[in-house]
Structure 1
Amino acid sequence: MLGDDVILPSHLEPAMAVVGRTVEWTRPDLNPQFVHTWREGLELLIDHHPSYKGRTSLLMAKLKDGDVSLKLSEVKLSDEGKYRCFIPSLGKETTVQLIVGFVSSPFIAINKSSSGVVLECESKGWYPEPELFWLDAEGKLLSAGAPETVRGPDGLYTVSSRVTVEKSHSNSFTCRVQQSKIQQTRLMRIHLEDGVFMDKSNCSAAHITTGFAVVLLCVVVVVFSVYLWRTNKLGNTRMGRLTNIFSKKQTQQREELNNLGQEGPTDEERERQKLMAEKEVKKNAKHEEEQKKENERKQKEELEKQIKQLESELKEVKKSEETERKLKEDAEKMKHEYKDLLKKSNLVLMNRRSELEMKLKRTKEKSMKSDKKEEKVKAVIEALKETKMMIDEVQKRF
C-alpha cells in the first residue's frame, strides 16, 4: 500500500553465503536501471536511479544464509513495476512484480427528483483504478449508469455513480467500491426512511388540482377576451371619454412642467452623460488591464522563483555527482599506486632472494672445504626459507 515498507523476496536454493559476492537489484524499465547494488561487502551508490536514494537496503543478518531480499521504504506510486535480482558470479537471477495500491471509503449523498430518490456515491483516492457497484438489500445489482472515473494530479482515482431507487420493503442500499488487482473492497450502506419517498397518490391528486386550475385560468382568459371584443365593437363612447380624460391629464401635466421650467434633458446634457458613460467604461477597462498585468507579474515572479529553486537543486545534484566522480578517481588512483608498490616490493624481495641463493651456493662450496662453517650454512638456509615465505605471502596478496 502507498507509504508502506515492503520486502521484495529473493533467496538462493540451496542456501549459501553471499556476503562477499555481488548482488544487483534493477528495474529494466528505468534509466538508469540500478536500484540497489551490493559488491564485496559494500553498498554502491554510483549510477543508481535517484528516486530510490536512501530507501533501499538488504537484510544484512540474512546474507550468510543466502537471503538477498530487498527492503523498499515508503512506497510511492512510481515504484510499481518488475524488479530483477541478479548474482553475476553465480549467473542466477529472479524477478519480482511490485503492485502499489491505495484505497478510501465511499460516501453516499441523497437527492430528490420528480422520478424518485437519487443516491450518489463517491470515493476519492484509489489506485489502481477501481470499480463501483450498487446493490439492494439482498445483494443484487441495481441498474445504474456507468461510473465516472477521474484521475487527479496526485495520480489517484476518484470514482462516482448515481442511481434512482424506489420504495421497497427494507429501503436499504449499498455502494461497493473494489479493486481486484490489489484485492481491496470498501462498502457504504444506507437505510432510507419511508418519508423520504413521495406518495404517488398524493402526487396524482396534486396533478389533478393543477390541471383543474389551468383549465379555469383558460376559461377566464377567453371570457375577458370576448368582453374586450364586444366593448370595442359597441363604439368608442366609453373609450373616447377615457381618452379625453387621459389627454387632458397629460396636457395639464405638460403645462405644469413648463410653468416650473422642468424640461427634459437637453442635447448638451445627453452628450455629457454619454461622455461620462464612456469615461466609466474606459476606467473599468483600465482597471481590468492593470489587474491582468498584476496577475501576470505575480505569475512571472512565481515562475522565476520555481526556476531558481530548480537551478539550486540541479547545482546540488551536479555537486554530488562531481564528488562521487572525484572519489571514484581517487580510489582508482590509490588502486594503481598500491599495485605499483606491490610490484616494487616483489622486485626487491626477488633480488634479495637471488643474493641469498648466491651466498648459499658459495657457502656450500666453502663448506666442502671446511666443516667449521656448517653452522653458518644452516643459519643462511633458515634465513633463505623465511625470505621465501615472505615472498610467497606478498605474491599471494598481490
Structure 2
Amino acid sequence: MTLEYHGSIQLVGSSQPTVALVGDDIMLPCYLDPSMNASDRTVEWTKHGLEPRFVYVWRDGGELESKKNPSYKGRTSLSIHKLKHGDVSLNLLRVKLSDRGRFRCFVPDISETLIELVVGVVSSPVIVSIQKAEAGVTLQCESAGWYPEPELLWLDAEGNLLSAGPTETLRGPDDLSTVSSRVTVEKRHSNNITCRVQQKIINQSRETHIYISDDFFTAPPGSAVYVSFLIILVLSVLCILAVIFICWMQKRKASYQLTSCSRAQRVLLYLSTV
C-alpha cells in the first residue's frame, strides 16, 4: 500500500510480504520514486501495535535514538550511502518472532508505504517410535517448535504419500506448534520412509528418513499372541511343579510323624511287660 503526499514522488515498498526465519538479518524495502537524496529529510519507521511505535527515526542527518522502542535497540539501521539515492530501506538484525506484523515507512510531506513481515520458526522432525504391528510396522514422527503451524506428511521411497493417522498439534504459550503423526508401513511400501514437515507460507520444509530392515517384517502374523501363549504355558508348568513339590513335602512330613508315633508305642508296650 502506497499513499502519495508530494507531487509525483512516492515511496515504494513491496506488494508481497517479506519472509524471514527467526535469527535472520533482513531488509524491509522502501524507496523514493523517482530517486532523490533523502539524507536531509526525516524518515520514520514504525510498527503497527508497538508501543512506543518507532523502530527507527532518521532526522537532521542522524538517527534519533531517544524515540526508538527498546526492543529494537541495536537491531535497526539505514544505509547512509543508500539514503543519498532515495533508498530508505530498513535493515533489521536478528529477527524475532515478535517482529512479525506490519511496518510503516514514512517520509513526511512525501509519502508512506506499508510492508508486511512474516516470521517463521522451523525445526527438524524426529522418528520417536518404531513398533511392530499386525499389518507391518508403525512409526511415529514428531517435530517441535514451528510457526506458523505446519503440516506433516509421510512418503514412501518413490515420493508417494502414505495414508496416515490424523496429525496431532499442540500449541505452546510461545505460539510455537508441535506436530506428530503415526503411520503403519507395510512391506509393499518399500523400506525407505520419509517424514516431512512443511509450511507453505514461509516456504520451508524439513524431513527425516528411516530405513526399515526386513527383520521388522519377518515376524509371522499373530507372533505376539504366540509369545504370550508360551509365557502363560511356562508359568502354568512352574505353578504345577510348585504344587507337586509342596504336596510331596507335606506327605513326607506326615509319614515321618507316623513313623515316630509307632516307635513310641513299641517302647511303651515293652516297658509294661517288664
Query: Does TM-score exceed 0.5, indicating one fold?
Result: yes
Mapped to 1, the partners of 2:132 and 2:114 lie a distance apart of 55
Pairs within 5 Å for 1:244-263:
none
Structure of greater Rg: 1
Q: Deviations over 1:50-82 (max 9, x none)?
A: 211221111111111001011111111101111
- How far apart, CA to CA, are the structure 1 residues paired with 2:72 and 2:219? 62
Q: Deviations over 1:106-153 (max 9, x none)?
A: 122442244331111112232222110111223222222222222345
For 1:172, the equivalent position in structure 2 comes to 192
**Identity across matched positions, percent:** 55
Note if 1:99 corresponds to 2:118: yes
Among residues 138, 144, 166, which one is paired with 1:146 in the alignment?
Answer: 166
In structure 2, give the amino acid aligned to 1:88. P
Greater relative contact order, per chain length (Cα 8 Å cut-off, separation 6+): 2
The 1-side partners of 2:189 and 2:53 are apart by: 60
Displacement of 1:32 in angstroms is: 1.9
1:22 aligns with 2:42: yes
Structure 1: distance between partners of 2:174 and 2:90:
26
Deviation at 1:205, TM superposition (A): 10
Q: Is residue 2:73 matched to residue 1:53?
A: yes
Q: Which one of the candidate residues 34, 39, 43 is aligned to 2:59?
A: 39
What TM-score results when the alignment is normalised by the length of structure 2?
0.70
Tell me whether 1:77 sits opposite 2:97 in the alignment. yes
Which of 75, 97, 108 is 1:88 aligned to? 108
Answer 1 or 2: which has greater strand percent.
Answer: 2
* Partner-residue secondary structure (3-state), 2:120: coil
Number of residue pairs the alignment of both structures matches: 218
**Residue 11 of structure 1 contacts residue 69 of structure 1 at CA under 8 Å; is this kept in 2?**
yes
Cα distance in 1 for partners of 2:127, 2:57 equals 49
Aligned match of 1:134 in 125, 148, 154?
154
Higher helix proportion, which one?
A: 1
Residue 11 of structure 1 aligns with an amino acid whose one-letter code is Y
1:196 partner letter: F
Compute the displacement of 1:202 (Å). Answer: 7.3
Q: Does 1:108 align with 2:127?
A: yes
> Residue 129 of structure 2 contacts residue 141 of structure 2 at CA under 8 Å; is this kept in 1?
no
**Counterpart of 1:168 in 2: which secondary structure?**
helix
Q: Find the aligned partners of 2:131 and 2:210 in 1 and give their Cα distance.
A: 15
Which residue in the other structure is 2:183 paired with? 163
Give, in angstroms, the shift of residue 29 of structure 1: 1.6
Aligned mates of 1:172, 1:98 — CA distance in 2: 38
Q: Is the Cα contact below 8 Å between 1:26 and 1:33 reproduced in 2?
A: yes
- Is 1:117 aligned to 2:104, yes or no? no
User: Distance between the aligned counterparts of 1:169 and 1:181, measured in 2?
Assistant: 30
| Runs of at least 5 residues in structure 2 that lack an aligned partner in the other structure | 1-20, 237-250, 259-274
Q: 2:51·2:69 contact (CA, 8 Å) conserved in 1?
A: yes
| Separation of aligned partners in 2, 1:146 and 1:6 | 36
Which stretches in structure 1 are left out of the alignment for 5+ residues? 218-241, 250-398
Describe the SS at the equivalent of 1:12. strand
In 1, distance between residues paired with 2:181 and 2:30? 43
Query: Could you tell me whether the CA contact under 8 Å between 2:156 and 2:190 is conserved in 1?
Result: no
Letter in 2 for 1:138: E
Give the letter for the 1:175 counterpart.
Answer: C
Equivalent residues of 2:156, 2:189 under 8 A apart: no
Query: In the aligned structure 2, how far is the partner of 1:36 from the partner of 1:51?
Result: 11
